[in-house]
Amino acid sequence: MQVLDVGQGSAALIDTRSHRIVVDAGPKIDTRFDAGESIVMPALRRTGSDRVDLLMLTHLDNDHAGGRQAVADRYPDAQDIGAIRRCRDGHSWVWDRVRFTILQYADGSNRNDRSCTLLIENQRQSVYLSGDIGIQAEHALVDRLPERLSVLVSPHHGSRSSSSSLFTRHVAPQWVIHSAGRFSRYGHPHPLVSNRYALECSRQLVTGLVGGITWSSADPERIFSQRLGSLTLAFAPGLHRLDESACVEKPTNPSVRRH
């Protein structure tokens, strides 16, 4: 999995042995910048097969969907979820022994809470791309998530309106990736959110600070950052702000639901 540095926005590439998924495509700012064209497509060409099997949007806000059209034009055969084809809560499929499950709080009162989120699992690891869900959606979905995620792309870029204590304690991710801009006026991730994940001993990285991030289920305790290189759970800089003794260690092996 690659979580790309698209500034204040979100875009991720998911690779299995023979399939590629794009989840969100970053922002488009008038004619000045299109993350789909400038960041997502070059990453696809540079890191694997120049193809996309599925182009999925968590929701239609510009910071997630602005670059979609450029990607869709370049890969017209890609399946669509979230733009043309609606999100279906509970829809699940398996590619190359990896299970993908769409989770959506369809009764959410706003577009963020109705984000089309994606849970990815194999026999040993689990990843959750949470879109911009807020606390209400977190509480509605939390019981459907593993109790120990390998990687979490944090809800709403690390906003204070998300990552409730109930949610962070349940998912207790080994790695948290905050997809947020370096000089964003929103100040993501919020210090309160960072501290909640720190209490779970999660290692946290911000794309705007460390660049694009790559993680593989074949080496789950290691992550690669464009600016900092290879990092391991034993040493990861960033936002692990609390003293190590303050966090509550949980079992090393993530719990993955059995199907």
Q: What single-letter amino acid sits at 188?
A: H
In this structure, is residue 42 part of a structural domain?
yes
> What does pTM read for this prediction?
0.91
E strand or H helix that includes residue 139: helix 135-141
pLDDT values of the chain reduced to their tens digit, one per residue, 259 residues: 999 999 999 999 999 999 999 999 999 998 889 999 999 999 999 998 899 999 999 999 999 999 999 999 999 999 999 999 999 999 999 999 999 999 999 999 999 999 999 999 999 999 999 999 999 999 999 999 999 999 999 999 999 999 999 999 999 999 999 999 887 777 789 999 999 999 999 999 999 999 999 999 999 999 999 999 999 987 655 444 444 545 655 544 444 454 4
**What total number of domains does the chain contain?**
1
Three-state secondary structure call for residue 82: coil
Name the token pair of 53. 């099997």
Domain of 121, CATH number, reads 3.60.15.10
| Domain contains 210 | yes
Report if residue 55 sits inside a domain: yes
Q: Is residue 254 part of a domain?
A: no
In a domain, 212, yes or no: yes
- Residue 258 belongs to some domain of the structure: no
Structural contact between residues 66 and 27, judged by C-beta atoms closer than 8 angstroms: yes
Host H or E run for residue 13: strand 11-15
